[in-house]
Amino acid sequence: MALVSAKDMLEKARAGKYAVGQFNINNLEWTKSILLTAQELNSPVILGVSEGAGKYMTGFKTVAAMVSAMIDELKITVPVALHLDHGTYEGCYKCIEAGFSSIMFDGSHFPIEENIAKTKELVEVCNKKGLSLEAEVGAIGGEEDGVVGKGECADPDECKKIADLGVTMLAAGIGNIHGKYPADWAGLSFETLAAVNEKVGEMPLVLHGGTGIPTDMIKKAISLGVAKINVNTECQLSFQEATRKYIEDGKDLVGKGFDPRKLLAPGCQAIRDTVKEKMEIFGSIGKA
Ligand code: 13P
Atom of ligand 1 nearest to the CA of 24: 9
Please confirm, yes or no, whether 85 is among the known catalytic residues. Answer: yes
Instruction: Kindly report the protein residue whose alpha carbon is nearest to atom 1 of ligand 1.
Output: 209
**Distances, alpha carbon 145 to alpha carbons 42, 46, 85, 115, 274, in Å:** 30, 19, 10, 21, 21
Ligand 1 pocket by Cβ (under 6 Å): 24, 48, 85-86, 144, 178-179, 208-211, 230-234
Put simply, whether the predicted model's pTM sits higher than 0.85 gets the answer yes
* Contact call for residues 231 and 189 (beta carbons, < 8 A): no
- pLDDT at position 151 is 67
Burial of 265 (0-12, 13-18, 19+ CB in 10 A): middle
- Contacts of residue 25, defined as CB under 8 A and 6 or more positions apart, other chains included, come to 31, 34, 47, 48, 49, 53, 63, 67
At 47 the three-state DSSP class reads: strand
Which uninterrupted H or E stretch holds 232? none
**Distances, alpha carbon 94 to alpha carbons 63, 64, 100, 146, 228, in Å:** 12, 11, 9, 19, 23
Quote the CA–CA distance of 196 and 194 in Å, as a whole number: 5
- pLDDT at position 138 is 84
- pLDDT at position 175 is 92
* Contact call for residues 101 and 129 (beta carbons, < 8 A): no
Provide block-wise average pLDDT over 10 residues at a time, the chain (288 residues): 96 98 98 98 98 98 98 98 98 98 96 96 98 91 67 90 98 94 92 97 97 97 98 98 98 98 98 98 98
